[in-house]
Amino acid sequence: MLFGLLLETNARLSRSLGLELEAQCELPLAWFEVLLQLRKSPDGRLKMAQVADAIVHSTGGTTRLIDRLEEAGLVQRQLCPSDRRAIHVAITDLGNQKLDEALSVHLEYLQETLVSRLSTQERVALTALLTKLNAPR
């Protein structure tokens, strides 16, 4: 039952956030996730495999996703200076602007769906439990 609730909650939250991002920013949730991971990286770029791992996607699915983001001008591929076989994905200035827009929608969404419905103590407890479940064994 617990696992079912986790899956259902994730699906509902992801779907509703995705709809908000699409409606207000014309940005699919998967694109938001990639841009967010790139922004969080130390130099605004990650290797393709790191992107796939961070967003929990297959490498083939990530390649197609990056193709679409690159066509939109939100990311660019770069050769890795230390490994000629590796490709980096870097967020562009336009990608950073779009992410800023989406983050304001995201924060408003979090306020409505989490902050207004869970107490501070409940959010802290939920964060600790989910962190524990996400930790490697």
Give the pLDDT of residue 97. Answer: 97
pLDDT digits (tens, 9 = 90+) for 10-38: 999 999 999 999 999 999 999 999 999 99
pLDDT at 83 exceeding the cut of 80: no
pLDDT at 3 exceeding the cut of 80: yes
The whole-model pTM stands at 0.86
Angle at 100 between CA 42 and CA 108, to 5 degrees: 120
Confidence of residue 129 (pLDDT cuts 50, 70, 90): very high
Give the pLDDT of residue 64. Answer: 93
Give the pLDDT of residue 56. Answer: 83
Burial class (CB in 10 A: 0-12, 13-18, 19+), 90: middle
Is residue 73 classed as helix, strand or coil in its secondary structure?
Answer: coil
Give the pLDDT of residue 125. Answer: 96
Confidence of residue 131 (pLDDT cuts 50, 70, 90): very high
Which structural domains are found in the chain, ordered by start? 2-134 (1.10.10.10)
Kindly state the helix (H) or strand (E) to which residue 106 belongs, with its residue range: helix 93-110
Token readout for 87 is: 């490709």
CB atoms within 10 A of CB 35: 23
